Structure 1
């Protein structure tokens, strides 16, 4: 088995463990629809359009972060307990907004921009600076599309499941902040990519 297959096996085991008892099964199903779709697309495209090992590793890290969010719901991920355990001191606020959602939106841009760059370089071969601008543009566009789909899904789910899926936590600018963080992550990812290319 090669590296991408090992990543798939490892991620699948992790996913099944967190699928056993999610906080809210309805939210979990909604959150995982895109993950499963992405994995199927990656698996089907692998023989003809493979990506680099780095791209698959970055995608796997993002999927792990997303899987944790879907298990707990993004607003309930106990990251503060992890911080407290790691530094043996609680410097995070005890209450208030759970920022895990924002971290994962930033991670989306940071971790998925390079695989998009890799895909474009291998199969579209953009010229000059476009190599480094197209990935952030695609992250921005896909982030906006996700926010619209998230809004529709929240409306469809309704009630507390819809609210948990949306994860806005009372912030009227949540969608805009999420899109901005994803874009910032993508721009940051392209800086070392441009410097090393």
Structure 2
């Protein structure tokens, strides 16, 4: 069984440290649980599949950023993250945009999705790999909005911080649009670098590849 890479152990230790910090006196434990549960579930999947289907360090780094972002949002609630509270006051903005920033970063999940498609489906064509990966990103973004809505409907007032609309009627549309934009930006910035890292790691598509 292959051992954990040093860099991956550092990423895991960072996640564990921030998780412990996040769990210490968050603003509201109910909201904290709602926010961190998807991140913990993702982490467990990554740990379970690490030796069977290890990803590139680039993909793990991107996913680590997403997980940490969710832990921070859970601790403060997305409406009250201090740094973005300061940005809001300095710029005289109407809302704390940490949730906007978070949904933009969720678009970066396109890299590990792209990697899984490349290695498991046999699709070599970069356009179709990217297009299908983007479809997954948007599906996840839409599903997340539906889960938020259902949670708010079931839990009522206690879930208002989890919903995080801050009075914006178009919050869900903004969130999905920013995830799409994040995915596009990620592809533009990292596609070639990601391809090179997969090649250096000896990761190849299935033999019955579709061009």
Give the structure-2-normalised TM-score.
Answer: 0.83
Deviation at 1:157, TM superposition (A): 1.9
Q: How does 1:67-86 map to 2 (within 5 A)?
A: 67-80=71-84
- Aligned equivalent of 2:41: 37
Deviation at 1:125, TM superposition (A): 3.0
Deviation at 1:13, TM superposition (A): 1.1
- The 3 A distance-change label for structure 1 pair 80 and 147 is closer
Which SS does the other structure have where 1:58 is aligned? Answer: helix
1:52 paired to 2:89: no
- Aligned equivalent of 2:94: 96
How many residues are paired up?
A: 189
1:177 paired to 2:174: yes
Deviation at 1:82, TM superposition (A): 5.9
Q: Any unmatched runs of 5+ in structure 1?
A: 85-89
- The 3 A distance-change label for structure 1 pair 80 and 177 is closer
Deviation at 1:194, TM superposition (A): 4.2
User: What is the CA deviation profile of residues 49-77 of structure 1, one whole-angstrom value per residue up to 9, with x for unaligned ones?
Assistant: 11001110111111111111111110111
Give the structure-1-normalised TM-score.
Answer: 0.89
- Aligned equivalent of 1:87: none
- Aligned equivalent of 2:119: 122
Distance of 1:31 and 1:192 partners within structure 2: 28
1:20 paired to 2:3: no
- Aligned equivalent of 2:65: 61
RMSD: 1.8
Which SS does the other structure have where 2:166 is aligned? Answer: coil
**Contact 2:95–2:166, Cα closer than 8 Å, also in 1:** yes
Match of 1:187 among 167, 184, 209: 184
Q: Any unmatched runs of 5+ in structure 2?
A: 196-211
- After TM superposition, what 4+ stretches of structure 1 lie above 3 angstroms from structure 2? 80-84, 192-197
Match of 1:143 among 123, 141, 144: 141
Deviation at 1:119, TM superposition (A): 1.7
Deviation at 1:92, TM superposition (A): 2.3
Deviation at 1:192, TM superposition (A): 3.2
- The 3 A distance-change label for structure 1 pair 131 and 20 is same
